[in-house]
Structure 1
């Protein structure tokens, strides 16, 4: 009589699995191709035009919109205008008076051309200058053609000032520099450009020249022109294929959020430096209008730089073919 297991020890009765022979690698399913930059910019331009029309309809032709405009920027107690009493009225009028002169505008437009010429992007510089001039014309036509009905809203007038020509020109200038500058330099132009536009927008409201909706309309008008101009340049050059984006998408989004946060802090500091005593001199309504206009400007200029982040506006179809053959 034997005790213990009857199974053999030291070897297995199960035969080893057959050796796997390497087979052909299975191709992964193709990912969804990204939309061409020209198409993205065109879609963004259409969205900006729709937003411009929506802001105009709501704030100009509806009673709640006119009421919100009057709440943010109430009429002055004396004189019946929208100028805000305080120590900022004088500096605001000085800023607008100098910015509206032909000489400073000519200098800034020349600077756009110089930036484009130095970066071998003369055509984007010329398009940027044309964009600024178009913004001047479009804002003037819109203010003359659009009626502002009397909807029996307190503190509201029938004088139409939508959109702001000063803000449209300032925004178009900031975006024109983005068009003419190389891709690596665009992120450094966002904060100075947004700060300049914010100061002009704040000055127009403090001086009583424009309402909050006028400032927002001026920004949207120039954003629409910028997107359409950039779409035409991207479609013509086709250079977007020459500069693929590096790094994972999560890293790019994280970096964009950090840059946006830092840019917003720097922008607030720049506005406080350029317009000292802003909170102390203004009531809550105009102060809130200035903050909203500043945030809208920062968002618009930042989105513009993001939309053209991979587009250099140089090259041709031949250069794309050479790039594809080399890779």
Structure 2
């Protein structure tokens, strides 16, 4: 690739991340305005505390109590990954990871205290719980691991990270700690901040793997289907079990948003490697 071609691709990469950051930021505003600032939004959001009742028994509630442990575990993994990157003198991912986790933590915790929640009816908790700091920080820690690319980085690790973040996010709703919009807000908050930071990084652009492309497409489809189930749950398409429809919308929405964020991030400060034909080894930049 020529120097001019590489520079052009870097600019396009920056614009893509900037556009994604703006999209996630708009999503954050929409979730807040609709779910928190309108009576109908508050009513539907409160309904999320009653979905999937078979996953809310005593044993399940005890299982969800591990959310904080998993969150601290993800932060510990991110810290170790940052340390390994620092030992390799890859300061860009270390610095950006620290900024990402710090900004997301302060913003997600602070917004719950600052953002107003009008009293528009008896819809579950009267105090503001938007956004979910558990979901936001857990996802930020996972993105930090991807950016720092420790020696033990692999596609399996990324899927494990995604599963743990999904557990924290969905567990926050199923344990009655948060409404669904809180979890969605936490995820898109991290998406907005992480993509904004990634837009400022000048790095070589690696080829997009089929797995990464598949995750991105699958995530987009999950978000679309979740939106349709949500419209069905509010009665736009007629009858049916609205609570089940709302539950499906929440699960697919969380998984789709998580996948959309994780699929766009790659290791920073490492040389892209192209997998040789017939090779089964994972290249560092193809960790997802």
Q: Say yes or no: TM over 0.5.
A: yes
Structure 2 distance, partners of 1:190, 1:227, is 18
Q: Do residues 40 (structure 1) and 29 (structure 2) align? A: no
Show the 5 A alignment for 1:183-222: 187-222=155-190
Structure with a larger share of its residues in helix: 2
Show the 5 A alignment for 1:113-152: 113-117=82-86, 120-152=89-121
Q: Which has the larger radius of gyration?
A: 1
Q: Is the 2:188–2:257 contact (alpha carbons within 8 Å) kept by the matching residues of 1?
A: no
Q: Paired residue for 1:179, among 147, 150, 153?
A: 147
Q: Is the 1:205–1:286 contact (alpha carbons within 8 Å) kept by the matching residues of 2?
A: no
Corresponding position of 1:300? 261
Q: Is the 1:72–1:288 contact (alpha carbons within 8 Å) kept by the matching residues of 2?
A: no
Structure 2 distance, partners of 1:119, 1:255, is 28
Total equivalences in the alignment: 239
Q: Is the 2:32–2:185 contact (alpha carbons within 8 Å) kept by the matching residues of 1?
A: yes
Structure 1 distance, partners of 2:19, 2:248, is 33
Structure 1 distance, partners of 2:16, 2:218, is 26
**Relative to structure 1, is the Cα distance of residues 48 and 258 closer, same or farther in structure 2, using a 3 angstrom cutoff?**
closer
Structure 2 distance, partners of 1:123, 1:66, is 41
**Relative to structure 1, is the Cα distance of residues 55 and 90 closer, same or farther in structure 2, using a 3 angstrom cutoff?**
same
Structure 2 distance, partners of 1:189, 1:149, is 42
Q: Is the 2:105–2:137 contact (alpha carbons within 8 Å) kept by the matching residues of 1?
A: yes
Q: Paired residue for 1:91, among 45, 52, 63?
A: 63
Stretches of structure 2 that go unaligned for 5 or more consecutive residues are 1-7, 221-242, 272-288
Q: Is the 2:67–2:167 contact (alpha carbons within 8 Å) kept by the matching residues of 1?
A: no
Q: Output the TM-score relative to the length of structure 2.
A: 0.70
Stretches of structure 1 that go unaligned for 5 or more consecutive residues are 1-32, 78-82, 246-251, 265-282, 316-327
How large is the RMSD of aligned CA atoms in angstroms? 3.5
Q: Do residues 112 (structure 1) and 103 (structure 2) align? A: no
